[in-house]
């Protein structure tokens, strides 16, 4: 789960990291009020969307008086930001964050990620920040500082101090920078994050270090033990299809193709996507109904896949172990009886109670295309693209 910049900063501030003074606004009037309350002579008005790269597309505005704050906010509210990270549909701005502007001397990059190769938390840093990590790693890979943390002992002060030196921090600020890096690590670990990014980490003209922008991503499977984080979720920033899935206990990832997929188990789901790709077609989604899925859950999965207008054919691939083919068939019949199919549906059932499952499908009289193997199911689904529902 992703959160907003202002939320990430508030969390980091709780771990002792210095952030500029700021306040959230839901209207231009409120934004101007925030600026007055913050004081000073320059403010930054920042669109709160779940994406970086806002600066490049006008989502971060430097303002020199209250009326400029008002109009910047007025322009941002309700607008759709198309950033390098936001996907084709962009992200709509419903909140802006107003901050006292920092007089910047230097921008640096600090990020903590889960490194899947070493299976460790890795700190990535660069003396040149303010640009996205994707650009840093492709344009100036030699500038990147990397540091792996041993989980048994956690991050050590000497490691943080080394990073601070490599960032070229002024001697007077080494202690402060070391504390920031250690604090970011503690936040990552204690809050079950999968990513913590401070970009830019700024050295100001008056010689102080600030987190001027921050992003955090959390492990969905650990949210149950962080209710204060879970409540920061902002559904307006998510892919609507994925929100509906999460709310129904289904694991769903949306793609851009036209074959809607339902499988049980992540492995079988991925294999199904691979087979579709190999057949030269593009899946519309990944959807895992999990184990022991009730007819009701299967019906929900089917409705979810059908709610995607790009879907032309639906492919259900179930190899039942803990699952039961008769329950899956019941779910399919339940969903299709309520809402008759307007697109071809290919169903492959195998495993527990397969005979009952097949009987339920044939007795229903619904126009379901059946297949015995995954290969057969995929080739039938691809062939059905662009055709009408068999009557
Ligand atoms: P992003 O584009 O979504 O990553 O948004 P950022 O918050 O990182 O802002 C983009 C850029 O705007 C930063 O890299 C800075 O150069 C600039 N910026 C942001 N906040 C301030 C500020 O308080 N003072 C100044 N001078 N520049 C800022
Ligand atoms: Mn940034």
Mean pLDDT of 333-341: 93
What is the overall mean pLDDT for the chain?
A: 95
Question: Is residue 197 annotated as part of the catalytic site, yes or no?
Answer: yes
Residue of the CA atom closest to atom 9 of ligand 1: 55
Helix (H, G, I), strand (E, B) or coil at 40: coil
Catalytic residue among 5, 99, 107, 197: 197
Asked whether residue 167 carries a pLDDT value surpassing 70, the answer given is yes
For 62-119, what is each residue's pLDDT tens digit? 999 999 999 999 999 999 999 988 877 899 999 999 999 999 999 999 999 999 999 9
Kindly state the tokens that stand for 53: 């790269």
Quick one: which atom of ligand 1 is closest to the CA of 101? 23
What is the set of domains in the chain, with CATH numbers?
1-19+104-238 (3.30.470.20), 21-101 (3.30.1490.20), 239-384 (3.40.50.261)
Are residues 344 and 315 in contact, defined by beta-carbon separation less than 8 angstroms? no
DSSP one-letter code for 2: B
125-131-136 Cα angle (round to 5): 55
pLDDT at 390: 57
Are residues 107 and 60 in contact, defined by beta-carbon separation less than 8 angstroms? no
Separation between Cα atoms, residue 361 and residue 331, nearest integer Å? 10
For 348-385, what is each residue's pLDDT tens digit? 999 999 999 999 999 999 999 999 999 999 999 999 99
Asked whether residue 4 carries a pLDDT value surpassing 70, the answer given is yes
Give phi and psi for 188, each to the nearest 5. Answer: -55, -50
Cβ atoms < 10 Å from Cβ of 115: 15
Question: Is residue 185 annotated as part of the catalytic site, yes or no?
Answer: no
Separation between Cα atoms, residue 4 and residue 25, nearest integer Å? 13
How far from 145 is each of 121, 128, 198, CA to CA, in Å?
14, 11, 14
pTM metric for this prediction: 0.82
Ion ligand 2: protein residues whose beta carbon lies under 5 Å? 199, 213
Cβ of 60 less than 6 Å from ligand 1 = yes
For 232-252, what is each residue's pLDDT tens digit? 999 999 888 888 888 888 889
- Closest by alpha carbon to 118, among 153, 139, 146? 146
Cβ of 213 less than 6 Å from ligand 1 = yes
Catalytic residue among 70, 97, 109, 252: 109
């Amino acid at each position: 789960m992703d959160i907003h910049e202002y939320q990430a900063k508030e969390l980091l501030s709780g771990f002792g990291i210095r952030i500029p003074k700021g306040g959230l606004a839901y209207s231009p009037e409120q934004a101007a009020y925030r600026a007055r309350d913050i004081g000073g002579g320059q403010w930054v008005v920042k669109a709160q969307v779940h994406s970086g790269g806002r600066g490049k597309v006008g989502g971060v505005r430097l303002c020199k008086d209250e009326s400029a704050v008002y109009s910047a906010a007025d322009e941002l509210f309700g607008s759709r930001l198309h950033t390098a990270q936001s996907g084709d549909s962009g992200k709509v701005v419903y909140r802006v964050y107003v901050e006292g502007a920092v007089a910047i001397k230097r921008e640096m990059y600090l990020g903590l990620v889960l490194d899947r190769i070493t299976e460790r938390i890795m700190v990535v840093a660069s003396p040149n920040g303010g640009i996205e990590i994707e650009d840093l790693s492709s344009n100036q890979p030699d500038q990147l500082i990397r540091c792996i943390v041993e989980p048994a002992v956690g991050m050590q002060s000497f490691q943080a101090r080394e990073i601070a030196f490599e960032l070229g921090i002024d001697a007077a600020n080494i202690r402060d920078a070391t504390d920031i890096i250690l604090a970011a690590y503690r936040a990552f670990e204690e809050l079950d994050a999968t990513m913590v990014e401070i970009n830019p980490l700024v050295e100001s003209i008056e010689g102080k270090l600030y987190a001027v922008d921050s992003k955090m991503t959390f492990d969905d499977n650990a949210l149950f033990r962080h209710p204060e984080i879970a409540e920061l979720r902002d559904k307006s920033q998510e892919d609507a299809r994925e929100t509906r899935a999460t709310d129904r206990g289904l694991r769903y990832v949306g793609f851009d193709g036209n074959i809607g997929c339902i499988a049980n188990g992540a492995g079988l789901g991925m294999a199904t996507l691979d087979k579709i790709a190999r057949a030269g077609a593009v899946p519309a989604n990944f959807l895992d109904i999990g184990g022991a899925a009730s007819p009701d859950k299967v019906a929900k999965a089917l409705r979810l896949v059908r709610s995607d207008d790009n879907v032309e054919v639906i492919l259900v691939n179930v190899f039942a172990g803990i699952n039961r083919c008769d329950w899956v068939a019941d779910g399919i019949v339940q969903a299709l009886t309520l809402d008759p199919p307007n697109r071809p549906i290919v169903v492959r059932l195998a495993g527990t109670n397969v005979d009952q499952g097949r009987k339920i499908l044939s007795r229903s009289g619904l126009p379901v295309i059946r297949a015995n193997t995954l290969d057969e199911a995929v080739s039938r689904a691809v062939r059905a693209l662009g055709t009408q529902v068999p009557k």
